[in-house]
Amino acid sequence: MSDQQAQKQAAAKAALSYIEDDMILGVGTGSTVNCLIELLPTLRLAGAVASSQVTEDKLRALGIEIVDLNFAGQLDVYIDGADEVNEHLQLIKGGGGALTREKIVAAASNKFICMVDESKSVEWLGREFPVPIEVLPQARSYVARQLARLGAEPVYREDFVTDYGNVILDTYDLDVSNPLALEQQLNNIVGVVCNGIFAANQADVLLKAGSNGVTTLTR
């Protein structure tokens, strides 16, 4: 097992302490979340709200009941990973293309727990990892031109369609020095469904796994 995989598993184990019996749990998407999903059958959950079809399928395969967010109401806890996280617990997510569903479930939860290995911790968001932007298919070219006006380089994610039937523009060279302002600015572009900056819905708790164990940061 690689060090990175061991760190992901350590972060997932640390997240278990935030889950209570008979809870309807919000469950994210990605490689670190997959480590958590493997541990969930040991718990007594009332059900789970999944942030992607991929996660939903994994949970169903383990016999965990899937609950529609419209009927679940406000969730106590949502647990997910991130592609990048800064010291303010602001994130870039969406490498797996589930950013819109992830942001909806995060917004509908009282507490957002983010699990990462140390490679995901950065000083500045967006320097290494592009900002994924979910776009209505008809608006793809228009949105790309608007992003280029901001000095960015949008790259169409080929052969990928989101759970909502939309496309992704992986956007490089954006100035993410003010994540909250940029998140709002991108959402104001006509045709943008959602973007992968989680600043308005930043994490409440960060579980960062490294070679010396798991560090807990809160905002």
User: Which residue in the list 102, 134, 158, 183 is annotated as catalytic?
Assistant: 102
Active site residue 65: no
3-state secondary structure 86-142: CCCCCEECCCCCCHHHHHHHHHCEEEEEEEEEHHHECCCCCCCCCEEEEECHHHHHH
Alpha-carbon separation of residue 117 from 19, 72, 137, 161, 181 (angstroms): 20, 30, 34, 27, 27
- The alpha-helical segments, DSSP class H, found in the chain are 3-15, 31-39, 53-61, 69-72, 99-107, 140-149, 179-187
Instruction: Report the sign of the C-alpha dihedral through residues 204, 208, 212, 213, in that order.
Output: positive
Provide the annotated active-site residues. 102
